[in-house]
Amino acid sequence: FYLSPVFQNDLEFSIRYNKSISNKYINDGIEDRMKIQFSNCFNLFSNAMTLKYYVSIDGYINRKNEYALTPIERYPVHQPEQSPLENLWIPSFTLICFVKNVEFSYEMYHLTNIIDDYLNRNYDSNQIVFNQYYPSLTRLASLAIKWNFYD
C-alpha cells in the first residue's frame, strides 16, 4: 500500500505499508512495516541552490520473537520463552542540497537517541533490539558529498 498526495508549495506526504507473509523460520520477525514521510523542496539564492528535506517515521509493527538467525552459524534458533516484542517507531531526517553539479546530503537515523545525547540524557530506554544475537541499534549520522562530472 502506498499513498502520496502532493500539497501546496511542493510539500509531499506519503504513507507506505508492507505486510510480510512468510514461514516462521526465514524472516526477521517483523510482520508489518510502515513509513510515514513528509518532504519538501525549495530553491535558494536566485535558484542557484535547491534544498530538499525528508522527515520520516519508520514503524516495525507486530514483531514476533519465535525464531532468530544466529549471526555466525546462520541457522534459525527457536526462542520459546521470550517476552513479546514492542512495536518500534524510528524517526529520521534527511537534508539534501544541490549546487550546480554537487550534491551534499546529511542524514540522521534514529533521532530520539541523537536528541537525548544533545540534552545529556540517558538513552538506554531508546535502544532498539531486534533480537538477542545482534547488538542494539543506536544512531546514525551520515554526511555525503557527490560530485557529478558532465561532459
Q: Mind listing the pLDDT tens digit of every residue in the chain (151 residues)?
A: 556 665 666 788 888 888 877 666 555 667 788 999 999 888 888 888 888 999 999 988 887 767 666 667 766 777 666 666 778 888 899 999 999 889 999 998 877 777 777 776 665 555 566 556 665 666 677 899 999 887 6
Whole-number pLDDT of residue 64: 73
Alpha-carbon distance 116 to 142, whole Å?
18
Residue recorded with cell 535558494: 44
Distance between CA atoms of 91 and 15, rounded to whole angstroms? Answer: 14
Residue identified by cell 561532459 is 151
Predicted confidence at residue 57, as pLDDT, reads 92
- Threshold 0.85, pTM exceeds: no
Residue 96: which of 86, 107, 87 has the closest Cα? 107
Q: Which residues contact 66 (CB under 8 A, 6 or more apart)?
A: 24, 29, 78, 79, 80, 82
DSSP letters, 46-82, are: TTTEEEEEEEEEEEEEEE--SEEE-TTT--EEE-TTP
- How far apart are the C-alpha atoms of 12 and 97, rounded to whole Å? 17
DSSP string computed for 17-31? EEE----SSSS-SEE
Which residues are paired to 6 by β-bridges? 12
